[in-house]
Structure 1
């Protein structure tokens, strides 16, 4: 389980990385900008295959209050207030309306009039939020969906309240043994959110808002001991691998949130006295029986507002009956039903056959230094993104990092995360400066280029081997081909090291011998390389502009380009101007790499951009027939980077030339 879900050290590292990201980004928000928070399973510390990224964003200049007396705590000139009306909504939901003195113009389009009040319609608010963010316009429930490279994400549009909901006051009274009093106080002091979706059986489904306890749930998951967290992970694996296996989205009645709710109730009710690795299966079994009981009764009480039955709109009548039969069939088989999961079978079989088998909990035995570094490697590949291109915002963010980087409270993983973010910000600023000063007079352009180059060199000090690629791209962009080729040669030497960690393909023994025991900052500079992230709002290489524009138009903020593909591409583009024979040799090498690599250097998920770049290189060197074939291959791949529009455009161009 620790290999699948994570050891306590790995989970702590993942949470540290997420926490420092939110802190850094939100500290530099102005009052008229949105705040955001990563929520869901990734924030909790899971990294399971197929899981997406959940985001919540809310306006800083608006606050929801439960009664007018709470308005005394706000400067209403700076923060506009919104009031709750729960009188006609099911438990856990509410209507939101604007006080008559607070009818600001920009909200009128999302309001409807009822009982002489202006209520904010959740459905209209979702539509407006998507319209104002053209790159994230794909609706998905209460969210808008998009892509960061190969990762999908959901962005929920919310409002925030600094006050705890009165309907959840009973939860505070229940917290006798878990969580601890200081955690309860922290949760209550941070209030709640309101997500733009109504109850399907409510009187005002299109206008209601769901009360969200995402921040509170995150703090409760953090308050679990590691055995409890593993049981929660086991329930998620059980749900995905057994209950929902093979079902379409519309047929999946139980979800991960039900599993989490069951764990919360079992922990708080002291159903298990000793939460330890030896009782892992017992803990799972108790949670499973509670879920079975809920399905039988047709009632799944929300952990914070028990009157909110989370089965009410989906699990009832025939669906409830069929789900109960399925779960009861598993119950009759006993805990051995976990053997039906191919993943669980290999882990559970020995425990079932040998109940006295010793259980290893030592972190160093479970995961070596090199293996831990591989997980940290994954975490440092985070797909940073800023919706707006704003140098001032980037500078504010750098100032925030400067203020907190020396804090003794930072963990080593948070320091590393800040270093990676610093490198990213410097790279973004460098290329934005070039874009903004490209048409200026020589003196201004020279000054901007000098500053940009300095930033890119500084970014390498905070980054890894592959960050040198941004210097090579900048040299190419500014027509300095010899200098770009010189950087590429240095990168190739570093990539040839036998202890290189790239795409988790590292010789662990050689890696440990070469850099074991060093700080991760030093390991990154000497032995770590990653694929290249291109912010689609910034033009890094002119030959890739159509691909970036196509990707951005389809809601994909980041293009991920395999390092070795971009290395070959840049070398071909530079050699076209200084050594055409070498350009053809490198093109031959690129063709061999694309056709014969078996996942060692190239991520199969990125085959659309891989074939596309091969086609571009063939096209610029004059081999149109080969380029056409490569573009057709790109079209036949899964659209990871969302570049189909650019591919079709390039095919059309070649067709015109061939006429």
Structure 2
């Protein structure tokens, strides 16, 4: 059966329909500017990560749809982790590229594995217990078992997490996550060399060369039909895939997004028997093949549904044949273990039923339906596909500042680490960066300066060396003031914390007063909460730097490796023991906390007022200023203040509330200790 022979008839009405769906997809998926912001801000963060990483570090890379530039509801967060001092090689001659005194080498052995899978032989000694414990002898050689490695690296980062495929899977605040511990390879596999030869028209040669230079990864999952399922590893091209997605034009990217939406809202709703057979990776594979084969002559808004329909027909063909060829290794059939037998036949009949309806099948998608019916019932409806007019200045800024906040977090462990970050940033300043990347680098600089200031101060506290303490104090104050100029309103809070912790309460309260005035402005953008009209009136047309300083605020992130406020030392230690690098505290909670600590020393009435304001905020806020994910630390801080006033029963209640919240800050050890210290029976 040839499902690719039929063409979609294109006329003015059809183009009108395509334009309407294009506009809707820009609203759901994002405009090209929004997608560029998401990608470029993540790119610069990973660039800094890569350059600062030591040989003994664990490298983290975001993968999946978020890394590609999507922000679809229900999408999960995907991360890959690997040991920087372990590398996979394809043949022994590649070992000459490494200094084996500080690199553990692992040999690829696919002689008995299906395409896309392999055994991994440990060639040189490793000092990592997880790797050692995963080794199994086979044929007088030592291989790393994928199933054992999964067990060894299953960290149970949050309650309810489970092993799922090669990953640890769980949920935080309604968002699902997948964490995969893998091994990196700096070389492109010979078995995938045919892919390079296929790249005549897409992607361009520069992208191909970059993909080949970056190599691939191996994730701990074997083929269910392989001879060594428990020991085998699957070859992963995640890095290559997000480079390919980034090389799409926006219409191609939106078509990919439409396929993902269609899968979730239409295909998966056909029947329970078939709703787990296809996944978004199959949609990605389809769009890759369609683009590379030039099956669509022109990717543009007026032609968008042609791309969708050609992709859907190719998917239908694959389901009919029971073969979904991996884009890099076509001999690896992605349907082999799932889409076969009666389930395959049922899925084909369901998809063919949708196919027979034509593009009308899109009416089954709640996200798209109204935009199709609007055009059908109003054929003369005017549709603007100019992306600049689809998104307001405020919404654009919200996207940008949110991505900056997400990608500016760093937690150096000591002063040497701080200096290494600052030196890395200094070297990057002269490089060709986009306007969004400059802003991220600016905010990363502020974050590192803040960590450096507190680290430096803590190094000289109680040393008895007055001159050094004075110099360190001056330098710390200068760095914190400099950081406040780089970032948003929240950055001033670090100055207030520093003054509070060094007993300069009047100076600290002077800063909190300034912060409160700024936070009281009607045009404030706090996290993603903002009144669009008031924000535009307040700072519309200003530079992004001006907007951040005057109208943007976020939660406060505290590096657990150094002390910011003495009263939170226990919580920082608890987070550190649970492998968390930060405490994330709602800005308004921290503001009242610092005011309480400062007033407690000289004004009982104002101290009580600050505590009352904190109590009202924690007890009654509906998620505007205290997000539900950060209620653990908010209740904790309230309890600490209540304990300091001698109200032990109220403190006990607050600590008990803290320990029942989702432990995103991982402070439950500290909370248990505080409850025990109350000595209330």
TM-score by length of 2: 0.86
| Contact 1:135 1:552 survives alignment (8 Å) | no
Deviations 1:419-457 (A, max 9, x none): 111111122222333444444334344444333332222
Task: Select between 523-532 and 34-43 the one with higher mean Cα deviation.
Answer: 34-43
How has the CA–CA distance of structure 1 residues 521 and 550 changed in structure 2, closer, same or farther, with 3 Å as cutoff? same
**In structure 2, do the counterparts of structure 1 residues 134 and 613 end up closer, same or farther at CA, with 3 Å as the change threshold?**
closer
Are 2:383 and 1:380 aligned? no
Aligned length: 654
- Of 443, 448, 453, the match for 1:430: 453
- Aligned runs of 1:88-127 on 2, under 5 Å? 88-99=112-123, 102-103=124-125, 108-127=132-151
Q: Secondary structure at the match of 1:313?
A: coil
Match of 1:234 among 235, 242, 258: 258
CA distance in 2, matches of 1:81, 1:136: 34
Aligned to 1:18: 42
Distance 1:31 1:482 in 2: 45
With 35-44 and 619-628 compared, the bigger mean Cα shift is at 619-628
Please give the residue correspondences for 1:231-380 in structure 2 after superposition, counting only pairs within 5 Å: 231-244=255-268, 252-354=276-378, 357-380=381-404
Cα separation, partners in 2 of 1:477 and 1:358, compared to 1, 3 Å:
same
Q: Which runs of 4+ in 1 moved over 6 A?
A: 131-138, 145-152, 245-251
Q: Distance in 2 between matches of 1:609 and 1:172?
A: 51
Query: Residue 171 and residue 74 in structure 1: after superposition, are their counterparts in 2 closer, same or farther (change >3 A)?
Result: same
Q: CA deviation at 1:642?
A: 4.5
* Structure 1: tracts of 5 or more residues without a match: none
CA deviation vs aligned residue, 1:23-82 (integer Å, no higher than 9, x gap): 112112334444443322222112233444433343444433322344455555565543
The alpha carbon displacement at 1:8 in A equals 0.7
Could you tell which deviates more after superposition, 558-567 or 330-339? 330-339
User: Structure 1 residues 540, 117: CA separation in 2 closer, same or farther (over 3 Å shift)?
Assistant: same
1:610 corresponds to: 634
Q: 1:490 aligns with which of 514, 523, 527?
A: 514
Partner SS state of residue 47, structure 1: coil
| DSSP-derived class of the 2:288 partner | helix
Give the secondary-structure state (helix, strand or coil) at the position aligned to 1:577: coil
Q: Aligned equivalents of 1:478 and 1:441: distance in 2?
A: 15
Distance (Å, rounded) in 2 between the aligned partners of 1:9 and 1:53 = 22
CA distance in 2, matches of 1:490, 1:250: 59
Residues 148, 558 of structure 1: 8 Å contact kept: no
Contact 1:234 1:284 in 2 (8 A): yes
Whether the aligned pair in 2 keeps the contact of 1:550 and 1:645 (CA below 8 Å) is: yes
> Does the CA-based 8 Å contact 1:149-1:558 persist in structure 2?
no
What secondary structure is seen at the aligned counterpart in 2 of 1:490? helix
SS of corresponding position for 2:600: helix
**Secondary structure of residue in 2 paired with 1:84:** strand
Give the corresponding residue for 1:37.
Answer: 61
Please report how far the alpha carbon of residue 614 of structure 1 lies from its aligned counterpart in structure 2 after TM superposition: 3.2
> Does 2:425 match 1:401?
yes
1:595-637 per-position Cα deviation (integer Å, ceiling 9, x unaligned): 4444443334434443443343333333344444444544555
> Secondary structure in 1 aligned to 2:82?
strand
Q: Distance in 2 between matches of 1:162 and 1:184?
A: 15
Structure 1 equivalent of residue 21 of structure 2: none
Looking at structure 2, the residues matched to 326 and 550 of structure 1 have their Cα atoms a distance apart, in angstroms, of 52
- Which residue of structure 2 lines up, in the alignment, with residue 410 of structure 1? 433
Relative to the length of structure 1, the TM-score reads: 0.89
* Structure 1 pair 380–387 and aligned structure 2 pair: CA distance change class (3 A): closer
Determine if contact 1:146/1:555 at 8 Å carries over to the other structure.
Answer: no
Q: Aligned pair in 2 of structure 1 residues 517, 577: CA closer, same or farther (>3 Å)?
A: same
1:111–1:630: structure 2 CA closer, same or farther, 3 Å change rule?
closer
Which residues of 2 match residues 109-188 of structure 1 at below 5 A? 109-129=133-153, 141-144=165-168, 153-188=177-212
Between 1:300-309 and 1:315-324, the stretch displaced more is: 315-324
Partner Cα distance (1:50, 1:442) in 2: 55
Task: Say whether the 8 Å CA contact 2:41–2:407 is kept in structure 1.
Answer: no
SS in 2 for 1:87: coil
Counterpart of 2:504?
480
**Conservation of the 8 A alpha-carbon contact between 2:408 and 2:440:** no
RMSD across aligned positions (CA)? 3.4
